[in-house]
A = this chain, B = another copy of it.
Amino acid sequence: MSKVLVFGHQNPDTDAIGAAIAFANLQQVLEVDAEAVALGTPSEETQFALDHFGLAAPRVIEAVKPETDTVMLVDHNEFQQSVSDIADVTVLAVVDHHRIANFETANPLYYRAEPVGCTSTIIYKLYQEYEAEIPQAIAGIMLSAIISDTLLFKSPTCTPEDINAAEKLADIAKVDLNSYGLEMLKAGTNLGDKSAAELLDLDAKSFPMGGKTVRIAQVNTVDLKEVFNRQQELEAAMVAENAAKGYDLFLLIATDILDSNSELLAVGAPLEVVETAFATTLTDNRAFLPGVVSRKKQVVPQLTVAFEG
């Protein structure tokens, strides 16, 4: 079999990078000529994790065809989130924890999806099933991915399987789960040296809702005040983004990873739908959202319903 490239989604987070490294390693154990690559450079959080366990960041690729015809995808399946020439190559395998959409193959493949909090949790199970040993550094990056995706188990996307996998992996990685986890999450909250535009682009997705286009950015922080000291600058950047990209409404969710609460900043229209969605009143374009940490489970569905109502 020719060389196989293994990678996660564009704009990679710690799971996209970590799951690629871990799944490529498992494939190597199974005697597949696999290499972990990435569709972008690591975030500061991911770089912290890589450095901590002595791993190199995966090589960044723009396209597959110059190198090979065969790929394995982790932490995504939708073609628009994947490599540019994904439709021209053969997908041999997918390991993922998202919905399936805009994905199609010509041939049977290996596809493993489970509704858990993190792809690396599924890959941990695969190592068990193949009775393959997990090297310490690989365990460390898988653990980091689970901590990242579940915000140290505080996200409502977290399942008992994620916690179980993380505990086992922390033993292999020889780290204290909670202290390492907090340290890693904090490494991703260094927002001070970023421009407002960079901060809004760290982890942002667009959603069509009720005929409008809603942009929702999320940043993690250990100090909500630090983020909102820059409110004026952020609002100006959000107004500019709305105008440039045609967004109707821009929401910034700043999430306090220590307290597991978020503060919302909204620019655009209709703001009354935002108030309905979260049963709150915006003051100075802001609202406190107690207990909200997951965009996927605690923001998008509520907004979708409010737009439809």
Contact = CB atoms under 8 A, between A and B. Distances in A.
Interface in A105-127: 105-115
A111 B108 contact: no
A194 interface: no
B107 A111 contact: no
A259 B138 CA distance: 51
A215 interface: no
Interface residues of A, number: 20
Contacts of A98: 108
- Indicate how many identical chains form the complex: 2
A97 interface: yes
A129 interface: yes
Nearest to A113: B111
A100 interface: yes
B112 A107 contact: no
A111 B119 CA distance: 13
Contact of A99 (B108, B112, B113, B129): B108
The 5 closest A-B pairs by CB, nearest first: A111-B113, A108-B115, A101-B104, A99-B105, A100-B105
